[in-house]
Chain A
Amino acid sequence: MFSPAILIQAVINGVLMGAVYALIALGLTLIYGVLHIINFAHGALLTMALFAVYFAYKVLGLDPYVAMLAIAPLFFAVGYGLQRFVIGPAAHGDDRSVMLVTLGLAIVIENLLLYAFHADTRTIDVPAGFNVIDVDGALLGVSRVIGFAAVMLLTLLLWALMKRTDTGKAIRAVAREKLGAELSGIDVAHIYAVTFGLGTACLGIAACLLIPTFYVNPTVGQSFILVAFTIVVLGGMGSVTGALLGGLFVGVIESLGGLFFGETLGQLGIFLVFILVLLVRPTGLFGERA
C-alpha cells in the first residue's frame, strides 16, 4: 500500500487540478443554468483556447499568465458571437436542435484544428511548469497553486458580477423567468450571448492555467468534456457551488484513481461515477431541477 505522505500528496494534487476542472465546469454550468442547453462544443472550445495560448507563447512570446488578459476577452467575444450569430439563429429555439448545432460546431472546430496543426501533441516550457513549493514535505507544482488561487479569485469575481451588476441581475432574471425578463425590457438574445461568452471566457482562462503543465493537440478537449459533464451533473446542472465542489471532488477521485488503478482505468472511474449519478440522482447533489 501507499504511505500516508503519498496519499496526502495525491489528494492535494487532486484538489489543485480539480480547481481547474471546476473552472471548466463553471462555464458549462453557467450556460446550462441560463440557456438550459448542454454545450457539446465546450471541449472543442477549450482545445481552441489551448491552441491560442500555445501560439501566444510560441509566436508572440507571451507568458500564459500574461496572455490571460487578452485570451479571456477574446474568448468572451468568440462565445458571444457563436451564440448570437450561429447557435441561437440556427437552432430555432428547439432543444434537440441546440444539441445538434453545438455538436456540429465541436466537430468543425476539432477537425479544422486537426487539419491545420495535425495530430501532433505540443507542450511549452515555462518556469511555472517545473518549479515546486515544498510545504511540510508535500511538493506542490507552482502552476497548480497559481491555478487554484486564480480559480478561487475568479469564482468570487463571477459571484460579484452576478450579484452586484445590472448585467448579472439581468442574467439571473433571464435564468429565472425568460418571458418575464423579456417583458421588462431585457434583451434576452443579448443576455444569452453574454452568458455564453462568460462560459467561453472561463475556458480561455482555464487554458492559460492548464498549459504550463499540460499539452495541447486537436482532441485534448475530449478528455476534459466528459470530466466537465461529470462535475456539472454531480454538482447539479446550473449550480455554481456544485460545480466548484464537484470539480474538487472529481480532481481528488481522478488523482487517487490514477494512483491505485493507473491512468486509463482512473478515467474509467470518472465515467462510471458520471453514469451512476445520472441514473440514480440526475439532479445532482446541489441541483434543484432535473
Chain B
Amino acid sequence: MKGPLAVVTVVGLLACVPLAGASNVTLNFLIVAMLAALVGQGWNILGGYGGQYSFGHAAFFGSGAYVTAILQVRYGVNAWVGFGCGIVAGAIVGGVIGFLVFRSGLKGSYFALVTLAFAEVLRIVGSVAPITGAGVGTLIKLDLRPEALQFQSRAIFYWLILLLVFISLLIAERLEQTRFGAWLMAVRENEDSARALGVDVFAVKMGAAVLSAAVTAAAGCFYAQYFLFIDSSIAFGSRVSVEALLAAIVGGSGTVFGPLAGALAVRSLGEVAKLVAGDAPGVDLAIYGAVLVAVVAFAPRGIVGLGATLWARLRTGEAGHLAGSSSRG
C-alpha cells in the first residue's frame, strides 16, 4: 500500500485508540510518542530527504515552544494564535539559520556542528534572558477551555497531535511525489551532480530547512500547551535534537513512515527500560544511544527498510532479489 491512502489508513487506525477505551497512561504514552514522531518527521524532511544531518533541531522546537508560551503569558495572546505564531517563528529561525549556513556552503559534519552550536547559543540565551523566565522557566496558566487550547480530556490532545502528525506525513508523502522532493533527494545523493542538472541547490535546501523547522516548531508549540511548562534546557537542550534524529534514523530516514515507526519503537523501548531498571536518570538515553549505534551498524535503512526487505522475501519465497529495491520511494 502506498501514497496518501496508506497515510490515511495508518492515522485512521491510530485515531481509534482512544475510542477503544485506552487508559490515561496509554494516552499519555501515545501523545509523547506522537510528539517524538512529529519532531522526527521535522528532522526527516531536512536530514532524511535532504541529507543535511542536523544535530540542533532543538533550536526550532524551542523557538516554537517559547513563542507560544511567551505570547500567552506575557502578552495575553490567544493560545491558538500563539500556536500559529510559534510555527511561523520556528520557520523563520529555520530560514535564518539555513540562509547563513547554506550561503557559506557548510555541509556534512560542519552542518551538524554549526546547528549544534546554534541550539547551544539559544539555550544559553534562554537561560539568562528575562523574557524567557531565565533559570526559572515559563509556566502557562492552567485554563481548561478549548479557547485556551487546553482540554480536560487527554483524548482531544491526542487527536490534536495526531492531526499534526497526519499533516507531517502528508508533507513527507508529497516530497516523494513532487518535483521539489525529487530535487531535494538529488541534492542528498550528490550535490554537484544536482547542480549540474540545473537544480537550484541553495533554494531547495532553504525550502527544506524552513519546512523542517516549521514542523519541528509545531511539536514545540504542542509541548508547551500540553505540559504547560518549559525552561531553557527542555526547549533548547540536546535531548530534543537527539530524539529528533533518533526517531528518523531508527525508523528509516528518508521514508514517509520512518519517523512514526521509529518514535513508537524507541519510546516503547524507553518504557520497557523504565520497568526493568526503575526510573533512574540516564537509563533511557543510554539505551537510545546504543540503539542508534546498532541501527546504523546493522540496519542502516531502519525499521521501514527491514520491513520492506522482509516483505520482499516473503513474496518471492526466498532471499529475494527485490530486497534492495523497494525501500526508498
Using a CB–CB cutoff of 8 Å, the interface residues on chain A facing chain B are: 37-38, 40, 86, 89-92, 94-97, 99-101, 103-115, 118-119, 218, 222, 226, 229, 233, 264-265, 267-268, 271-272, 274-275, 278-280, 282, 290
Task: Given A90-B293, A96-B108, verify A275-B300 contact (CB < 8 Å).
Answer: no
Which of chain B's residues 38-57 have a Cβ closer than 8 Å to chain A?
51, 53, 55
Segment among B25-33, B109-117, B144-152, B258-266 that sits at the interface with chain A:
B109-117
Which of chain B's residues 59-114 have a Cβ closer than 8 Å to chain A?
100-101, 103-106, 108-110, 112-114
Q: Is the CB of B281 within 8 A of A103?
A: no
Q: Is the CB of B296 within 8 A of A90?
A: yes
Q: How far is the CA of A115 from the CA of B117 in the complex (A)?
A: 26
B288 within 8 A of A: yes
* Main DSSP-derived SS at the B contact region: helix
Q: How far is the CB of A118 from chain B (nearest CB, A)?
A: 7
Name the B residues within 8 Å of A233 (CB-CB): 113
Q: How far is the CA of A196 from the CA of B292 in the complex (A)?
A: 21
Q: Is the CB of A278 within 8 A of B110?
A: yes
Q: Is the CB of A108 within 8 A of B289?
A: yes
Not counting A115-B283, A275-B121, a sample of 7 additional A-B residue pairs whose C-beta atoms are within 8 angstroms of each other reads A103-B242, A115-B281, A226-B120, A271-B117, A279-B101, A282-B106, A290-B110
B290 within 8 A of A: yes
Q: How far is the CA of A37 from the CA of B109 in the complex (A)?
A: 8
Q: Is the CB of B292 within 8 A of A100?
A: yes
Task: Given A264-B128, A278-B114, verify A104-B292 contact (CB < 8 Å).
Answer: yes
Using a CB–CB cutoff of 8 Å, the interface residues on chain B facing chain A are: 51, 53, 55, 100-101, 103-106, 108-110, 112-114, 116-118, 120-121, 124-125, 127-128, 238, 242, 245, 249, 277, 280-283, 285-286, 288-293, 296-297, 300
Q: How far is the CA of A272 from the CA of B118 in the complex (A)?
A: 9
Q: How far is the CA of A83 from the CA of B66 in the complex (A)?
A: 40
Cβ-closest 4 pairs across A and B: A107-B289, A114-B282, A90-B297, A104-B292
Contact partner of B289 (CB less than 8 A), chosen from A94, A111, A279, is A111
Name the B residues within 8 Å of A94 (CB-CB): 300
Q: Is the CB of A38 within 8 A of B112?
A: yes
Contact partner of B293 (CB less than 8 A), chosen from A104, A119, A267, A274, is A104
Q: Is the CB of B121 within 8 A of A268?
A: yes
Q: How far is the CA of A91 from the CA of B163 in the complex (A)?
A: 36
Task: Given A97-B300, A99-B53, A264-B127, verify A108-B106 contact (CB < 8 Å).
Answer: no
Name the B residues within 8 Å of A89 (CB-CB): 297
Q: How far is the CA of A268 from the CA of B118 in the complex (A)?
A: 10
Q: How far is the CB of B169 from chain A (nearest CB, A)?
A: 23
Name the A residues within 8 Å of B103 (CB-CB): 279
Name the A residues within 8 Å of B245 (CB-CB): 100
Q: How far is the CA of A119 from the CA of B283 in the complex (A)?
A: 13
Q: Is the CB of A107 within 8 A of B128?
A: no
Name the B residues within 8 Å of A279 (CB-CB): 100-101, 103-104, 106, 114
**Which of B100, B112, B292, B296 counts the most chain A CB atoms within 10 A?**
B296
Q: How far is the CA of A274 from the CA of B280 in the complex (A)?
A: 35
**Which of A37, A40, A96, A278 counts the most chain B CB atoms within 10 A?**
A96
Name the B residues within 8 Å of A267 (CB-CB): 124
Contact partner of B281 (CB less than 8 A), chosen from A91, A114, A265, is A114
Smallest CB gap from A109: residue in B: B289
Name the A residues within 8 Å of B292 (CB-CB): 100-101, 103-104, 107
Q: Is the CB of B289 within 8 A of A106?
A: yes
Name the B residues within 8 Å of A118 (CB-CB): 281
Name the B residues within 8 Å of A107 (CB-CB): 242, 285-286, 288-289, 292
Task: Given A101-B296, A115-B280, verify A268-B125 contact (CB < 8 Å).
Answer: yes
Q: Is the CB of B117 within 8 A of A275?
A: yes
Q: How far is the CA of A92 from the CA of B295 in the complex (A)?
A: 12
Q: How far is the CB of A262 from chain B (nearest CB, A)?
A: 9
Smallest CB gap from B127: residue in A: A264
Q: How far is the CA of A271 from the CA of B292 in the complex (A)?
A: 27
Task: Given A103-B55, A104-B290, verify A226-B116 contact (CB < 8 Å).
Answer: yes
Q: Is the CB of B117 within 8 A of A96?
A: no
Name the A residues within 8 Å of B286 (CB-CB): 107-108, 111-112, 114-115
Smallest CB gap from B128: residue in A: A264
Smallest CB gap from A279: residue in B: B104
